[in-house]
Amino acid sequence: MAAWREFGVLCLVLSVVPTVSQADESRHALAEELVRAMKADEQAAQRIEKIIIDQCHEEHCDDEARQCLFKIDRNELLSDLTYFAERELTPGEMAAATAYFRSEIGEKHRQVMRAELGLSKATLYDQAPEVRAAMLAFLDTSAGYRLVTRALLTNTDKVNGMIRNQAGRAFHRCKP
């Protein structure tokens, strides 16, 4: 009888494993879609390029070195940022933020966020009052607070470290 009970428990556990795996895949897909909607990977690549340009200016890189340096592993950026999002945000926050950043107002907000890093000229005050109000309303959500106010995927110590690490590895790899 005990053997049948153990077998039943084993079957129950094994039937849950695919569900957990499917949940993990779904969470990963949500996180990746958020990173793509925010274009956080593109922004990180631009920040890496900015570091490379500044460093090349100091070290007088030749054209061959520049070509090597600008081969940024964008898949790695996407993967790292996706991991950060998966770890820090709930599925609901990821879904809400993805929808927001795919909207017209979200696109404008993304430009404002890029300006804070010197990658764009847009400001919150350049926006129409109703657009500004919608942006501020998003900041009142948990997703808005974490992604914009705390800059979870764009300007945290972890993200900045990842960016510096990628730029450093490029210089190590190419040795200008």
Does some domain include residue 151?
Answer: yes
Does some domain include residue 21?
Answer: no
Does some domain include residue 11?
Answer: no
One digit per residue, the tens of pLDDT, for the chain of length 176 reads 555 455 454 444 455 445 446 667 899 999 999 999 999 999 999 999 999 989 888 888 888 888 888 889 999 999 999 999 999 999 999 999 999 999 999 999 999 998 888 888 888 888 999 999 999 999 999 999 999 999 999 999 999 999 999 999 988 888 75
Pairwise CA distance, residues 52 & 154, whole Å = 18
Does some domain include residue 27?
Answer: no
Paired tokens of 117? 């890093």
Does some domain include residue 138?
Answer: yes
- How many domains, in total, are found in the chain? 1
Q: What is the DSSP string of 25-55?
A: HHHHHHHHHHHHHHTHHHHHHHHHHHHHHHH
Q: pTM surpassing 0.85? A: no
**Residues 83/88/92/95 CA torsion (nearest 10 deg):** -40
Q: Do 174 and 68 form a contact (C-beta atoms < 8 A)?
A: yes
Q: Which domain holds residue 45?
A: 34-174
Does some domain include residue 8?
Answer: no
Does some domain include residue 109?
Answer: yes
Helix 2-38 / helix 74-88 crossing angle, nearest 10 deg:
120
Pairwise CA distance, residues 24 & 10, whole Å = 21
Q: pLDDT at position 25, please?
A: 84
Phi and psi for 77 in degrees, rounded to 5? -60, -45
Does some domain include residue 1?
Answer: no
